[in-house]
Structure formats: structure tokens, C-alpha cells
Amino acid sequence: DTAVSQTPKYLVTQMGNDKSIKCEQNLGHDTMYWYKQDSKKFLKIMFSYNNKELIINETVPNRFSPKSPDKAHLNLHINSLELGDSAVYFCASSKKTGGDQPQHFGDGTRLSIL
């Protein structure tokens, strides 16, 4: 069974569209994350939720809105997509927030804006 699964794996869409990426983890973890990896492979935290509550919100445009319906799911909705949003988006989870907690990553969603 996949521990952290993201859908879709690939997303190709036009500038200005709205799209969502879904993430689910079956590890029983309390904390989930969204990261963005740019073309230079630099990975940057966007959001973190602990048991459905937002705890980290980096300097991300408000076109990006995370939603956590329960602690096993963290979705990412992006409005009015721009060319600069093209990247790979990774979902991750950890047992708890902070401390000595390794993070478990999904395989990413490759978003391409035309």
C-alpha cells in the first residue's frame, strides 16, 4: 500500500485555470505538508497542517489554498494559475510536528502551465 499518495501525477493546464491536487496518507500521521520543487530541484515548504489545523503558512500567494478535511487528507487548490506555478508539488506527512520526525513524501504532482 502506498503510504502517501498524490493525484494526479501529471497536470497540464492553461494559464488562468483553477486546479486541485489531492493528497492522502495511510500512515496515521498527525502532520501533513505541501512543498514546491522548482526546475533547479530546490524544495520549499508551502504549508503544514497538524490534525486539520494550519500551522505553517509560508509566503505563498493567496491563490494557493490548502484544505484538510481530516488528518489523513490535505488538498491544494490553486486559482488563476500562472506560468511561474509550473513545478513539482510534493505532499508529505510526519508522525507529529517538529522534533525528530522524518517526513514521508508522495511521488509528486508535475504541474505544467501552458
Residues in touch with another protein (CB under 8 A): 4, 35, 40-45, 48, 56, 90, 92, 97-100, 102-108
Cell 487528507, located at residue: 73
Nearer to another protein, 15 or 54 (CB): 54
Q: Whose Cβ is closer to another protein: residue 13's or residue 101's?
A: 101
SS (H, E, C) 32-44: EEEEEECCCCCEE
Rg (CA), the chain: 13
What are the start-end ranges of the H helices in the chain? none
Shortest distance in whole angstroms from residue 36 CB to another protein: 11
Nearer to another protein, 48 or 75 (CB): 48
Shortest Å, Cβ 44 to another protein:
7
Burial of 67 (0-12, 13-18, 19+ CB in 10 A): middle
User: Closest approach of Cβ 109 to another protein, in Å?
Assistant: 10
